[in-house]
Amino acid sequence: MEDEVRQPTDGPLYTRLRDHLAAEITSGRLAAGTRLASERALSERYGYSRLTVRRALADLEEAGLLVRRRGSGTFVAERLIRKNVRGLASFSEDMRQRGLTPGSIVLRQELVFLEEEQAQMLKVAAHEGAVCLRRLRLANDVPMALETVFLPAALCPGLVRRTDLDRVSLYEVLEREYNLSADYAEEVVEAVNASEEVARLLRVAPGSALLRIRRLTSAKDRGPFEYVESLYCGDKYSLGLNVRRLGQ
């Protein structure tokens, strides 16, 4: 980062610093994920008061260029990933298509009994066992989403004992080994706030905005086989949807 604030030369002091830092970010000289120096260090570097620095940073945070992480500091915000809600690509496929390296941390992998609503959606009896798989989904080692999947155990025997679900695509395993190929899905999208537990896992502040997507996935010849609830970081994702006027 250059030590001299060159543009603009007029306007309030905080706008000069704000615009300079914004230019550094949008040009890529300050890359996404970069941790900024402390307010004190920035004040000393540019010769402005800490109040001026704080106001400039607040404007950049409001504009979505910076994100504050409690206990960690202020970082250049990641560019939003546009999620097409009409696509059925797996998380791993989606990240690879964007040039990112997908990853997972398995948090829960066990047999459970489905809740009545889940059982009805999957068209199985509530007393039948289901595989519950909860994973923290990563892109370039950065938490992107928290995903909890429920699959009728009868459809995927042995899946609960696999030890590689932190490294492989679940959809690829289901298609290759269990002949379950995702053909159609229904999704419900909601805005929610991060609980303390979820915030800790996603490395965001408690109460941060999240996108919750609940999906019921069906195979062409079998019907519903997967129910999944995903919590996406609101500062990393946007939703894309193509719409057409009815009757045209």
Please enumerate in sequence order all residues whose Cβ is within 8 A of that of 196, keeping only pairs 6 or more positions apart, or say none.
206
SS3 content of the chain, % helix, strand, coil (to 5): 30, 35, 35
pLDDT at 2: 45
Q: Which domains, from first to last, does the chain contain?
A: 13-76 (1.10.10.10), 81-240 (3.40.1410.10)
pLDDT at 19: 84
Angle formed at CA 89 by CA 83 and CA 91, multiple of 5 degrees: 70
Report the C-alpha gap between 91 and 114 in whole angstroms.
24
Local structure of 218: helix, strand or coil: strand
> What is the radius of gyration, based on Cα positions, of the chain?
22
Tokens representing 89 are 């690509």
Per-residue pLDDT tens over the stretch 59-75: 888 777 788 887 888 99
Q: What share of the chain has pLDDT > 70, as a percent?
A: 86
**Omega of the bond leading into 8 within 30 degrees of 0 (cis):** yes
Query: Which is nearest to 31 in space by CA: 73, 95, 70, 75?
Result: 75
User: Is the entire prediction scored with pTM above 0.75?
Assistant: no
Per-residue pLDDT tens over the stretch 33-69: 889 999 999 999 999 999 999 999 998 887 777 888 8
Report the C-alpha gap between 146 and 106 in whole angstroms.
10
pLDDT at 155: 95
| Mean of pLDDT values over 98-121 | 90
| Mean of pLDDT values over 201-217 | 91
pLDDT at 6: 46
pLDDT at 101: 82
CB 64 within 8 A of CB 233: no
Phi, psi dihedral angles at 88 (to 5 degrees):
-120, 25
Give the CA count within 13 Å in the CB-facing half-sphere of 138: 14
Per-residue pLDDT tens over the stretch 140-197: 788 889 999 999 999 999 999 999 999 989 999 999 999 999 888 999 989 999 999 9
Give the containing element (helix H, strand E) for 54.
helix 50-62
